[in-house]
Amino acid sequence: MKKILLSGLLLFLAMTGLAIAGPPETLTAAYQQFNALFTGEWQQYGQLFTGLQKDLFPRLFLLVITIVPVFFFLHYVAIGPMSFPHDGKQVYCYTLFVRIIHWLAAVSFSLLVLTGLLVIFAKLLGGGSLGIWARIVHLVTAVIFSASVIPMFLFWVREMLPAVHDLKWMLIMGGYLSKEQKAVPAGKFNAGQKMWFWLATIGGAVMAVTGYFLYSHQGNIDTLRLSAIIHNVLGAAMVALFLVHLYMSLAAIKGSLRSMISGYKAEAELKILHPRFKY
Ligand code: HEM
């Protein structure tokens, strides 16, 4: 630590001197030396990076797409889906515009997940044109997803801000570990939905930027490696929460899908799952 501080101070003085009088090449070299104190010699991590790309990341994705569904299967068998009467009062929750944007994001993101996995496992699946087609579709759907996530961010951001009761919701896991139907602390969106929202929108933006670097090969080797690491790790987290979102909307809460088609949710469901929602 002392060494770093001392070197930093010396370098700062040297750089100040050079900035006043010295040639720019010396300044660049001095800056690189200073930077190396913190980052080390990044080039030497080439082998480590190749290992991550070839072995660790495919395993990580394989783990996500097997473990998460197994967990949900067990939940479905042990606890079962929540069901609410849908013949009572209905509350209008999602406008037509919100639904159209949601489905644009849903279809493009589903294709992104599918083609992303195909790119990762292309070799295993026989290689050839499959990987190339997957890359092309991945690029096109990334543009559509990026475009749909911007309005989605804007129309939901206020309702998705964290609240104190979200902590309580997380402590009881939203009540999903119990068969009993008891009101949980949540407004229009619960803590789980909020997490998904932030990961899908802000995470989606980071995926778009890192994906751009990977496609365009813009930037130096360090930028490309860092982009690949972020794209893979964040991608795995997004796929995991995407599977959660699918399970919740297709299986865990009966009739949930209908709300994203018609815009209406049953008041009986809101009273239990979103009691703080003022409509
Ligand atoms: C095929 C895939 C998808 C299906 C079947 C689906 C289904 C649904 C349903 C049924 C709802 C309403 C939940 C409720 O209010 O009870 C919903 C809400 C939502 N969806 Fe999706 N969705 C999909 C993909 C996506 C994607 C890719 C995104 C991200 C961009 C997304 C973001 C959201 C958000 C932020 C909400 C509001 C909060 C929530 O309910 O989680 N959905 N979705």
pTM for this one? 0.83
53 lines ligand 1 (CB under 6 A): no
Q: How far is the CA of 138 from the centre of ligand 1 (A)?
A: 20
Q: Collapse the DSSP code of 91 into the 3-class scheme (helix H, G, I; strand E, B; otherwise coil) and give the result.
A: strand
Model pLDDT for residues 195-210, shown as the tens digit of each residue: 999 999 999 999 999 9
The CA 46 to ligand 1 mean position distance, Å, reads 39
- For residue 134, the CA-to-ligand 1 centroid distance in Å is 24
Q: How many C-beta atoms lie closer than 10 Å to residue 110's C-beta?
A: 14
- Report the residue among 98, 102, 107 best suited for mutation to probe ligand 1: largest number of ligand atoms under 8 A from its CB: 102
Q: Which of 25-39, 53-67, 164-178, 180-194 has the lowest mean pLDDT?
A: 25-39
**Rounded Cα distance, 151 and 47, in Å:** 41
Mean pLDDT lowest for which of 45-59, 138-152, 207-221?
45-59
pLDDT band at 218 (very low <50, low <70, confident <90, very high): confident
User: In the chain, where are the structural domains located?
Assistant: 1-40, 45-273
| Separation of CA 259 from chain center | 23
In CATH, the number for domain 45-273 is 1.20.950.20
Is residue 84 within 8 Å of 271, Cβ to Cβ? no
Close Cβ partners of 235 (under 8 Å, ≥ 6 residues apart): 61, 116, 207
Q: What confidence category does residue 42 fall into, taking pLDDT thresholds of 50, 70 and 90?
A: low
Q: Percent of the chain having pLDDT more than 70?
A: 85
pLDDT band at 2 (very low <50, low <70, confident <90, very high): low
pLDDT digits (tens, 9 = 90+) for 96-138: 999 999 999 999 999 999 999 999 998 888 878 899 999 999 9
**What residue owns the CA closest to ligand 1's atom 25?**
106
Q: How far is CA 100 from CA 56, 72, 188, 261, in A?
A: 37, 28, 19, 9
108 CB within 6 A, ligand 1:
no
Looking at residue 13, its pLDDT comes to: 54
Query: Among the atoms of ligand 1, which is closest to the Cα of residue 193?
Result: 41
What residue owns the CA closest to ligand 1's atom 20? 102
Report how far ligand 1's centroid is from the alpha carbon of 37 (Å). Answer: 45
Distance CA 253, CA 216 (A): 42
Whole-number pLDDT of residue 39:
58
Per the prediction, the chain carries an average pLDDT of: 89
Asked if residues 189 and 162 have their Cβ atoms less than 8 Å apart, the reply is: no
In terms of DSSP H, where are the helices of the chain? Answer: 2-21, 24-39, 46-51, 57-78, 96-121, 129-156, 164-171, 191-198, 204-216, 221-247, 256-262, 267-273
Report whether residue 249 contacts ligand 1, using a CB cutoff of 6 Å: yes
Q: What is the pLDDT of residues 58-94, one digit of tens each?
A: 999 999 999 999 999 999 999 999 999 988 999 999 9
Nearest-5° Cα angle at 241, 214 to 168: 135
- Whole-angstrom distance, CA of residue 81 vs CA of residue 257: 13
Weakest mean pLDDT among 24-28, 44-48, 189-193: 24-28
Determine whether the shortest distance from the Cβ of 200 to ligand 1 is under 6 A. yes
Q: Is residue 99 lining ligand 1, measured as CB closer than 6 Å?
A: no
